């Protein structure tokens, strides 16, 4: 797990400027790799690297030079992530191609696979990754990002060349080198206020994009990035016709999860891997399976001192049941307010998910004890875990209503007062799936956004983000289509971004065993009646984890890690929120008077505006840091040892 930086410059003079600027750009992502920092250059190509070392700590340094015997210095690798099947790949490359390796690390397996198998080798990598490979013979850069988007990879192109980085802020430092001014992207801002994150491949800066998850690319000096998708997720449900079929499915789930967790525990013997533990089935299963590989496993939980908003008690019971040491970090509203500007700096782009703040605190606590943690992200998207996946069942009666009448029902919902029971059900029932579902977070509806966003554009909508994913899934059942949309929106835009950013902010590697190609193969074949069944979600997963997960968790309803901002914004956080809005210089973008009215309506309990207010606050802090340069969080220097 590391932070990479790579530039493919237009000319030698641009490369000279890049070499001079790389040091500053690397310091912006020092937290991603405090163990080692190094740079490398070859003509128009410049690399920078921050390393957080796990495998062959003493020898697998980067940037890593590798080549076949006839051209030993042909390739140079810049790699962020972990390849969990690297031992199998190295063995096959040695047996079939007599490949030679100078280290025991996973990086050489990537380069050798690319050399012998070509660009298609990336589809054989089992892990989380973003990497660059410079081919000095062909003078071309090849790169790729993992199938689900666990690891980030930003890029920016201008007259001076193209730069790639694990951190967007590093690219902002290279604007002069690239010759590209950075401006706020109003279209991306509108998407953010709708979705609570900026969807790929956009960022909030017009000149910076993201290599999409499951994609590879090539670029030559003076050329353009040519991107190609190598991972095409397909939910191919297979009917379960008998008890034997069902039992076989449940066993496959248990087997693939045990295998995935085992591979995700890989590290040098003197490096400790722990686990995050909530009160839910996903993290509990991961911790229980990880305990099989590390009898001294430490589990970490965060919570709040408010009834109904903490899973600490359930997590403690789970930790006792599976026999792991348990560390708890309780977070107060004062701590959240104090930490949020720094967290927004680490995020690069705003993510209005309040859960990322307590996650930052527990990551900070965990890094005192371990260097990596396993976590349960991705289970809900793969196995059908969100409550909203039940919606196609509850709205099924509307499907029998003629289109004209459904449209009338939709118009009727518009005159029903906000907050009236059944208003949203009527509104959503009148819409087709493609129009009503665009992911788990729906912050500002269009009618509400018009009153707050001064740059509101009628031509911009969630269909810009979801239309292609609905097109490719048009023959699937509605829940599978919702899962597919979430894979490309909510999962990689919110869930995995916050997991990567706030853990790496603390130089802690987070590993996600559910986000594994082999796990996806099993999950993708689960039929609808094995996802949503017996009034629960993730039914097949729950059955597969029987005997692994303690009984008190196995059928527990999903809590969803709520954060009590609804209450705090009416009390402890009210003055703080009002101050952020008043001080913000976003008046040309946001109607601040409307934002203050929303805050007061929320304080008076007229409406629950908490998520919308939070989205505005996070954006205003982001704007204060990256646009106004008025807010300057004090970024701590990472001082962690190589091994824990």
Say whether pLDDT at 643 is over 70.
no
* 3-class secondary structure, 343: helix
Residue 145 is predicted with a pLDDT of: 98
DSSP character string of 547-602: TTB-HHHHTPPP-----THHHHTTTTTHHHHHHHHHH---TTTB-HHHHHHHHHHH
Say whether pLDDT at 518 is over 80.
yes
Residue 248 is predicted with a pLDDT of: 97
Say whether pLDDT at 365 is over 80.
yes
With cut-offs at 50, 70 and 90, classify the pLDDT of residue 640.
Answer: low
Q: By CB neighbour count within 10 A (0-12 exposed, 13-18 middle, 19+ buried), where does 58 fall?
A: exposed
Q: Is 624 within 8 Å of 350 (Cβ atoms)?
A: no
Residue 139 is predicted with a pLDDT of: 96
pLDDT digits (tens, 9 = 90+) for 320-330: 999 999 999 99
With cut-offs at 50, 70 and 90, classify the pLDDT of residue 644.
Answer: low
Say whether pLDDT at 602 is over 80.
yes
Residue 60 is predicted with a pLDDT of: 86
Once rounded to an integer, what is the mean pLDDT over residues 587-592? 98
Mean pLDDT, the chain, integer: 93
Contacts of 404 (CB under 8 A, 6+ apart): none
With cut-offs at 50, 70 and 90, classify the pLDDT of residue 576.
Answer: very high
Q: To the nearest whole percent, how much of the chain has pLDDT over 90?
A: 82
Residue 641 is predicted with a pLDDT of: 58
Return the axis-axis angle of helices 333-347 and 496-504, rounded to nearest 10°: 100
With cut-offs at 50, 70 and 90, classify the pLDDT of residue 453.
Answer: very high
Q: Which residue has the tokens 């371990």?
A: 370
Q: To the nearest whole percent, how much of the chain has pLDDT over 70?
A: 98
Q: Is 52 within 8 Å of 112 (Cβ atoms)?
A: no
pLDDT digits (tens, 9 = 90+) for 304-318: 987 777 789 999 999
Count other C-beta atoms under 10 Å from residue 319's C-beta. Answer: 25
pLDDT digits (tens, 9 = 90+) for 376-385: 999 999 999 9
Residue 353 is predicted with a pLDDT of: 96
Say whether pLDDT at 642 is over 60.
no
Asked about 28 being catalytic, the answer comes back as no
Residue 407 is predicted with a pLDDT of: 77
Once rounded to an integer, what is the mean pLDDT over residues 234-258? 95
pLDDT digits (tens, 9 = 90+) for 466-478: 999 999 999 999 9
Residue 561 is predicted with a pLDDT of: 63
Of the residues 1, 2, 253, 299, only one is catalytic, namely: 2
Q: Which domains does the chain have, with CATH numbers?
A: 2-229 (3.60.20.10), 243-385+488-554 (3.40.50.620), 387-443+456-487 (no CATH)
Residue 559 is predicted with a pLDDT of: 63
Residue 414 is predicted with a pLDDT of: 76
Q: Which residue has the higher pLDDT, 1 or 621?
A: 621
Count other C-beta atoms under 10 Å from residue 258's C-beta. Answer: 17
Once rounded to an integer, what is the mean pLDDT over residues 182-196? 96
pLDDT digits (tens, 9 = 90+) for 344-363: 999 999 999 999 999 999 99
pLDDT digits (tens, 9 = 90+) for 107-119: 999 999 999 999 9
């Amino acid at each position: 797990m590391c932070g990479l930086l790579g530039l493919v410059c237009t000319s030698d003079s641009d490369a000279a400027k890049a070499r001079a600027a790389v040091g500053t750009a690397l310091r912006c992502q020092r937290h991603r790799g405090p163990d080692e920092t190094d740079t490398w250059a070859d003509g128009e190509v410049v690399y920078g690297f921050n390393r957080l070392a796990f495998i062959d700590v003493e020898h697998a340094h980067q940037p890593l030079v590798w080549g076949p015997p006839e051209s030993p210095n042909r390739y140079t690798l810049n790699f962020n992530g972990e390849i969990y099947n690297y031992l199998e790949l190295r063995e096959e490359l040695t047996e079939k191609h007599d490949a030679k390796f100078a280290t025991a690390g996973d990086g050489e397996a990537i380069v050798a696979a690319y050399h012998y198998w070509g660009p298609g080798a990336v589809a054989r990598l089992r892990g989380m990754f973003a990497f660059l490979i410079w081919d000095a013979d062909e003078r071309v850069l090849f790169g790729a990002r993992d199938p689900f988007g666990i690891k980030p990879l930003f890029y920016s192109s201008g007259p001076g060349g193209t730069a790639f980085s694990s951190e967007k802020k590093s690219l902002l430092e290279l604007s002069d080198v690239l010759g590209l001014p950075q401006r706020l992207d109003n279209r991306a801002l509108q998407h953010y206020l709708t979705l609570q994150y900026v969807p790929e491949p956009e960022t909030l800066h017009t000149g910076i994009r993201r290599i999409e998850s499951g994609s590879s690319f090539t670029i030559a000096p003076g050329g353009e990035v040519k991107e190609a998708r190598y991972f095409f997720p397909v939910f191919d449900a297979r009917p379960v016709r008998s008890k034997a079929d069902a039992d076989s499915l449940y066993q496959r789930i248990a087997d693939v999860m045990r295998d995935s967790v085992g591979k995700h525990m890989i590290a040098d013997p003197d490096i400790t891997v722990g686990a995050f533990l909530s009160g839910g089935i996903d993290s509990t299963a991961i911790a229980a399976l990880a305990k099989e590989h590390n009898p001294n496993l430490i589990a970490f939980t965060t919570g709040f001192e408010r009834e109904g908003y903490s899973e600490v008690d359930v997590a403690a019971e789970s930790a006792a049941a599976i026999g792991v040491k348990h560390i708890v970090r309780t977070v107060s509203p004062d701590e959240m307010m104090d930490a949020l500007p720094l967290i927004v700096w680490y995020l690069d782009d705003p993510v209005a998910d309040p859960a990322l703040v307590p996650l930052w605190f527990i990551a900070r606590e965990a890094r005192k004890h371990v260097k990596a943690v396993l976590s349960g992200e991705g289970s809900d998207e793969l196995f059908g875990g969100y409550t909203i996946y039940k919606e196609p069942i509850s709205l099924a009666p509307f499907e029998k209503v003629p289109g004209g009448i459904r449209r009338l029902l939709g118009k009727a919902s518009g005159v029903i007062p906000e907050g009236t029971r059944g208003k949203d059900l009527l509104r959503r029932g009148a819409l087709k799936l493609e129009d009503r579902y665009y992911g788990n977070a729906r912050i500002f509806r269009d009618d509400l956004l018009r009153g707050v966003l001064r740059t509101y554009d009628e031509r911009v909508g969630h269909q810009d983000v979801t239309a292609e994913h609905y097109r490719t899934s048009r023959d699937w059942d509605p829940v599978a289509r919702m899962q597919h949309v979430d894979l490309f929106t909510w999962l990689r835009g919110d869930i995995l971004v916050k997991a990567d950013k706030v853990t790496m902010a603390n130089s802690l590697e987070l590993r996600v065993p559910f986000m594994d190609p082999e796990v996806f193969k099993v999950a993708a074949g689960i039929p609808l009646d094995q996802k949503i069944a017996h009034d629960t979600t993730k039914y097949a997963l729950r059955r597969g984890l029987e005997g692994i997960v303690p009984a008190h968790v196995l059928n527990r309803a999903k809590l969803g890690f709520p954060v009590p901002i609804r209450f705090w914004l009416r009390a402890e956080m009210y003055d703080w929120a009002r101050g952020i809005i008043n001080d913000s210089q976003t008046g040309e973008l946001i109607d601040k008077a409307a934002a203050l009215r929303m805050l007061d309506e929320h304080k008076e309990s007229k409406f629950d505006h908490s998520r919308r207010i939070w989205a505005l606050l996070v954006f205003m802090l982001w704007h204060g840091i990256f646009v106004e340069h008025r807010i300057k969080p004090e970024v701590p220097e990472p001082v962690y040892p190589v091994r824990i």
